[in-house]
Every structure is written in structure tokens, then in C-alpha cells.
Structure 1
Amino acid sequence: MVRWWSMRLWGAHLLGLVCVSIAVGMGVWQYDAWQARRDAERIDLTHAEPVAITEVIGPDDPFPTVGLGRPVEVRGTFLPEGTVLVSGRAGEKGRDGDWLVTPITVGDASAPAVPVVRGWVPTGTDLASLPAPPAGEVDLVGWLQPPEGSGQADDDPRDDVLPELRIADLVQRVDQDLYGAYVVAEEPLPGDAAAGVDGATLDQLPQASRFTGLRNILYAIEWWVFAAFAVFLWFRYVRDATSGRALDEADAEAGEDAVVRSDP
């Protein structure tokens, strides 16, 4: 009789263990991501002491949860060819407006760059009428934010007005790689302020989708359901294999007894 822990079933046991371990591990990972988002929402870093942006995120790093809203210092050179307006930013008294955004290198002129929200202008402002960013090396302080990307369509991809601050849209306009983040300048640059560009604020950020955090916990539940299903398949396979073999052996033994009894 083949038992559950027979060597013939070790392959099934090993495969089941691997599938369950992977599914449980992925579920735990998604749960930790969900919990990290919840923890980040409870912490207000906007009034913390500024640190160099390189201490929080690297050019190829995903956005760190602990960096949300963190004041960072950036020193580099603006890339005026990457200047765009980002629409849908309500100003004071609910006025419709746009963000003025230009990437700035983090380091020398050939280093990767990070988009910087230089300020706010009323909707309908012509980008050509706005001042170019200062030339040469610039120091600024701003709040670090993750890139946007809710999938909102761009009605006119040929103009310089974007519906969201998406890194994929900006990277096509400059030669440098871009960080997976952007910075909202705490104060407008001197030339921008003189031209009537108002300071941008975090209140002008679009409302974050609640589904962003919910998605992680739903993925975790999905992985754990898959783990339970893998356990069910393993149990059914082993049970059928052992019961089937046991019945075959019982039939064989019954046949042998019948032959022995029939012999004179």
C-alpha cells in the first residue's frame, strides 16, 4: 500500500510546497506594501529638515514610501527644452491653473534630471510668454513627490500642456534619464516671481486614488487564495494517488486469493 509520505509522492509534495511558499510570500509582500502606504499617510514630513535628494532616491530607484513629501535639496542645471505645463491645478479661490515644470539635473549638466514644479500660472497662459529657467548651476529646495499616472488621456500630445506629471511624457523631451519622482519647489525662482508666476503648493496636488492602496491588499488576498487552491490540488492529487493505488493492490490481493483457493 502506498502511503502519503511514500517516496513515489515526494515530487508532488515538493511541487506543492514550492507553489504554496511562493504564493504566501507574494501575498506577504503585497500586504507589507499596503501597510507601508498606510504608515506613510500617517507621517507628515513636509516640515522636516531638507536633505540632499540623493540621500532619499537614486536615478534608477523606485519612489521610496518614506520620501513622500520630504523636503529635498537639489543642485544642478535646468533643461529648458523639457519645460511643460501640467493642467488641472486649482489655485486660490478655486481658479483653474497649470503647473510650470522644468527638469533639472542632479549634479553636472549631463547627470540624470528630476522634474521641478517651478510655480503656478492661470489656465490659458502661453508657455512662450513665461520666462526661461535660469542658466548655470542652481540650488533649490522642494517637496519630493511620486510621479503621477492615473492613465488620463492627453487630448493633444503635440502641445506642451500635459494632463498629468508623468515621467514617461517628460523623458521624451530631454536627453538625460529622469528620476522616478518630481520636486515641488517651495518658492518660485526669482525670475518666475517677477513674471507673475505664483508659488505651487501641495494643496494643488490631485486627489490620490484610494484604489492605489487598496490594490495591494487585494493582490495579497488573491495570492493567499491561490495558495489555498494549491493546497487543495495537492491534497486531491495525493489522496487520489494513494486511494487508487490502495484499491489496485486490494484487487490484486483479492485476485491472488481467489486463484489460490481455486487450486486443488
Structure 2
Amino acid sequence: MRRPQWILALLLVMVIAATFAWLGRWQLGSAIRMDISDLADTETVTSLTELAKPGGGLNELAAGSVVEIDGTLVPGDFNVVEQRQNGGVEGSWVVGRFATEDPASNISAAIGWAPTASDAEQAIELLNAQVDPSQVFALEGRMMPAEAPARPGSDADPNTMTSMVPAHLINTWSELTEPVYAGYMVLHPDADIAPLLDAAGLDAIDSVPPSEPEQVNWLNLFYAVEWVVFGGFAVFFWFRLTRDAWEKEHELKALAEKAAADAE
């Protein structure tokens, strides 16, 4: 049925279907990663300054990667983070603040693990007494993104921390003027840090490599199929409207011819 309005409607449907097809192709491109080698290589030690910037977010390449940077440990800025698993046993982390010079910034670090919160508090007392604020440590550890804030239980101290949130730790630090990295480091017990752990009676924290990234993002793939379905539905919708109009027109024409024949 060649009617101007239906031809214009067909052109509009073709534009809509083409748009949906383009969106589906774009979503499909986002769903399939052709090269995941850069994301999968998290164990090669890389300078933190190459992967992240102070004050900025932590991208996918930096999260979970083993990094290195030089820094000085700031006395008095230690905290305890409870309910932390280490080797399948629950305990507490001693976390602290390292100041870096190149660039001038600060980074949160999970230094060591203690069996109980009281043991962690005792370790902090020892660290505050022994740490030389001018000593530069060559730090190595796994860079991790900030965790979601967790509210303490109703019967717990409201100041108890059970998640590693650098933005919260900043509020407990003293004399902060330089920017802070968004994530935090889980320190490895290398030559510089090992004596510190021994002196404080802390165990090294498990540094677990992240799971290998998937090559196919199934959610994006589902969205790609969805766009194709939408495009097909637009064409089908036009076809049904046109066919209904054609059938109605021919039905009226047949009724008119029948009425004319009956009148004769």
C-alpha cells in the first residue's frame, strides 16, 4: 500500500532501526575484550605513579596490581580495622599513613595483621614509639580500591572500623596538606617492612591476586541483543500498522462494492 504517510513512517522506522543497530554494535564492542593481557598482568611490580595519580580515581589497571613507591611512615596516624580474614582466621589490620615525596602525597596502607583488636592496639603503641618519621621505606604491595563503608553493630563502639575506607581514615590523620591516593596498599613483607612487622609483633597480610578478568561481559552482551530486538520490533510495529490499514481499506472497499451490487 503506497501511501505518503506510510512511506514516511517506513523511513522513520528505518532510522530508528539503524540507531538501535548502531547501539547494539557499540554495546557488543564493549562486551567483548579482544586483549586482556594488560588487565591480567597484576603481578609485575610497577611504579604506583605510572598507574594512579594522587587525588584521582583508581582505574581498572591499577586495582589489584602490585606496585612500588617510596614513603615515610607517619607516627600517630595508625588505626585498627577489625573483622579482617588472614589465612582463614579473623583478626584485625593495623593500617597507617605513608607520606611520599615524588609526587608529594599520602597513601593509606594495610601494614600487618594481628589476631585481636587489642593486639593490634598494642602493635600501634610499639610502632608509634619506634618509627623514625624521617626513614624512607621502599614500599611494595598490592594496590586495592577503597571498600564500601560499613556501619558497626549496635553493640559495638561507633568508632569501630571494619572496612578500609581511605576517605574515612583521612579524618583521623594529622596535618594533612597534600593529596591522597584513592585506594590503599596491602604491604608485602619485603626487606624494608619485615623488621617493622617483627618489632610490632604483626603478621604479613595475605596478598591475594585478583581473578582473571572475563573476556566477555555478559551484561553488555545482553544489552546488545536487547537493542537488536528493539530494532526488529520497530520494523514489525510498522508492518502491523500498515497491514491493518491495508486490510481495513480493502474491507471497506469490499463492503462498498457489495452494497453497490445489492442496490442494483
Q: Shorter chain as normaliser: what TM range? A: 0.5 to 0.7
Output the CA distance in 2 between the equivalents of 1:136 and 1:222: 55
Question: How is 1:18-29 mapped onto 2 (pairs within 5 angstroms)?
Answer: 18-29=19-30
Report the count of equivalent residues: 248
The Cα of 1:55 is off from its aligned counterpart by 0.9
Output the CA distance in 2 between the equivalents of 1:234 and 1:30: 24
Output the CA distance in 2 between the equivalents of 1:120 and 1:95: 10
The answer for unaligned runs of 5 or more in structure 2 is: none
Output the CA distance in 2 between the equivalents of 1:66 and 1:238: 49
Q: Does 1:193 align with 2:198?
A: yes
Match of 2:53 among 52, 58, 82: 58
Which has more radius of gyration?
2
Give the structure with the larger strand fraction: 2
Output the CA distance in 1 between the equivalents of 2:27 and 2:180: 29
The Cα of 1:238 is off from its aligned counterpart by 1.5
Residues 252/96 of structure 1: CA separation in 2 closer, same or farther (3 Å cut): closer
Output the CA distance in 2 between the equivalents of 1:137 and 1:259: 105
Q: Does 1:97 align with 2:91?
A: yes
Question: How is 1:1-264 mapped onto 2 (pairs within 5 angstroms)?
Answer: 1-2=1-2, 6-32=7-33, 36=36, 40=40, 43=41, 45=43, 48=44, 50-59=45-54, 60-65=56-61, 68-70=64-66, 72-80=67-75, 82-91=77-86, 96-107=90-101, 111-123=104-116, 124-125=118-119, 126=121, 129-132=125-128, 133-136=131-134, 138-147=136-145, 149=147, 153-155=151-153, 156=156, 158-159=158-159, 161-174=160-173, 175=176, 177-187=179-189, 188=193, 190-202=195-207, 217-247=217-247, 249-250=249-250
Q: Check whether the contact 1:73–1:139 (CA below 8 A) recurs between aligned residues.
A: no
Output the CA distance in 1 between the equivalents of 2:172 and 2:6: 62
Q: Check whether the contact 1:97–1:120 (CA below 8 A) recurs between aligned residues.
A: yes
Matched to 1:139, the amino acid is F
Task: Please give the TM-score of this superposition, normalised by the length of structure 2.
Answer: 0.68
Aligned alpha-carbon RMSD (Å):
4.4
The Cα of 1:54 is off from its aligned counterpart by 0.8
Q: Check whether the contact 2:48–2:68 (CA below 8 A) recurs between aligned residues.
A: yes
Q: Check whether the contact 2:39–2:60 (CA below 8 A) recurs between aligned residues.
A: no
Residues 113/245 of structure 1: CA separation in 2 closer, same or farther (3 Å cut): farther
Matched to 2:125, the amino acid is S
Moved over 6 A (4+): 255-262
Q: Secondary structure at the match of 2:101?
A: coil
The Cα of 1:167 is off from its aligned counterpart by 3.6
Q: Check whether the contact 2:13–2:235 (CA below 8 A) recurs between aligned residues.
A: no
The answer for unaligned runs of 5 or more in structure 1 is: none
Matched to 1:62, the amino acid is L
Q: Check whether the contact 1:118–1:189 (CA below 8 A) recurs between aligned residues.
A: no
Q: Secondary structure at the match of 1:58?
A: coil
The Cα of 1:222 is off from its aligned counterpart by 3.5
The Cα of 1:5 is off from its aligned counterpart by 9.1
The Cα of 1:182 is off from its aligned counterpart by 2.0
